[in-house]
Structure 1
Amino acid sequence: MGYCRESDPFYRMVVFECTSNGTLYEHVHHGKAAQLSWDRRMKIAIGIAKGLRYLHSELQPPSTISKLNSKSVYVTEDFTPKLVDFECWKTMFSKHSKMLGHLNNESSFPGHLDFLKDMPSEVQCNSFAFGVILLEIISGGLPYCKDNGYLVHWAIKYLQQPKEISKLVDPELTNVRPEELAVICNVVRRGLEPRRSQRLSLQTIAGDLENGIGLSLTLM
């Protein structure tokens, strides 16, 4: 929402909107399935996708989330997701001297050209990370645990067989709509594509989710 940059005394502060409902990680892995209903999960999934689409294709210069995971998604009291990139702010603050200076006609901020050079790779990493978050949302599984290994490795065999995708769903979840599950799984499958160049853009992902998941969610 804003920031403070005082020189004397030296002080740095970033002001975020209050999200008193904690993180998506806490709700999925430590909350009750009844509280995080299927509709709420779909609302969160679409909200994250729209936020990433804005960062990747509507913001100038474009941006990404450096460490995108369910811990970097905060939720408000009405379960609207908010993306936070604390790692980005830490990096910016630690290199604050490099960020100061005059803007010129070639870039919007210092380091702009270097940032854009790495953008395709970062965007594709965000697509993969969002696929993992979607798996967490529908399955309730951890991205990695010692007993079961990586969630992606467990899920891939079901994602490749459309008739098996129901086995991905958190057994505590009720009112799961099969057509919406199919949309989510198709997005996950294409977002987790091993070849980075073949992964869906967040612009496409957000469109697929908005078109494929009926926003009866707007009635919530």
Structure 2
Amino acid sequence: MQIADVSVWKEIVSEGKTNGDDDLDPSESLSADPASNVYSFGILLLEIVSGKVPYSEEQDALLNLVVEYLNGNGGVGSLVDPTLKTHKEEELKIICEIIQACINPEPSKRPTMKEVTSKLRAVIPISPEAATPRLSPLWWAELEILSVEAS
């Protein structure tokens, strides 16, 4: 799932109205389900870690990596984007545990976003202030330096 997909629902609802489906109520359809949001965030994290788009022709490849990891047949390294130069194994292991919890098939067993962000803050040593976008065109370079310094 891409970040841009979050607002696409409004467009789908309005298309449904124009296609003759008058039963759609946009106010009902646009309410967000927290468990679905957690799942989507887990998929987004998986996409970031693996470097693969989860919903594409290569979906089977990503799905196979995840199944292999969850079954204990592949290490955490099997999920990592091969173009990633360095990573900390322990941090990545915890992030993969967060992903696993977020994409749990049982919505009631998924963590809350508060729990997810708390775990991420504990494992990723970048302060929220340092990660906040600035108007500076050098912000991305500053963020990269902070990330290298943290490792």
- TM-score (ref. length: structure 2): 0.64
Name the CA shift for 1:131/1:150 in 2 (closer, same or farther; >3 Å). farther
**Paired letter, 1:173:** L
Name the CA shift for 1:167/1:131 in 2 (closer, same or farther; >3 Å). same
Q: 1:179 aligns with which of 76, 90, 94?
A: 90
Q: Pairwise mapping of residues 59-208 of structure 1 onto structure 2 (< 5 A)?
A: 69-72=1-4, 85-88=7-10, 91=13, 111=27, 122-147=33-58, 149=60, 151-161=62-72, 164-208=75-119
More helix as a share of residues: 2
Identity, % of aligned positions: 28
Rounded to whole Å, the distance in 1 between the matches of 2:64 and 2:34 is 22
Q: Please, what is the CA RMSD of the aligned residues?
A: 3.3
Rounded to whole Å, the distance in 1 between the matches of 2:82 and 2:104 is 26
Q: Is the 8 A contact 1:183 1:213 kept in 2?
A: no
How far is 1:141 from its partner? Answer: 1.3
Count of residues in Structure 1 that have an aligned counterpart in Structure 2: 123
Could you tell me which runs of 5 or more consecutive residues in structure 1 were left unpaired when the two chains were aligned.
Answer: 1-68, 74-83, 96-109
Name the CA shift for 1:152/1:87 in 2 (closer, same or farther; >3 Å). same
Name the CA shift for 1:216/1:206 in 2 (closer, same or farther; >3 Å). closer
How far is 1:150 from its partner? Answer: 6.4
- TM-score (ref. length: structure 1): 0.46
Aligned residue for 1:144, secondary structure, equals coil
How far is 1:156 from its partner? Answer: 2.6
Name the CA shift for 1:150/1:88 in 2 (closer, same or farther; >3 Å). farther
**1:4-38: CA deviations, max 9, x gaps?**
xxxxxxxxxxxxxxxxxxxxxxxxxxxxxxxxxxx
Rounded to whole Å, the distance in 1 between the matches of 2:36 and 2:61 is 17
**Paired letter, 2:38:** S
**Paired letter, 1:188:** I
Q: Is the 8 A contact 2:53 2:59 kept in 1?
A: no
**Paired letter, 2:4:** S
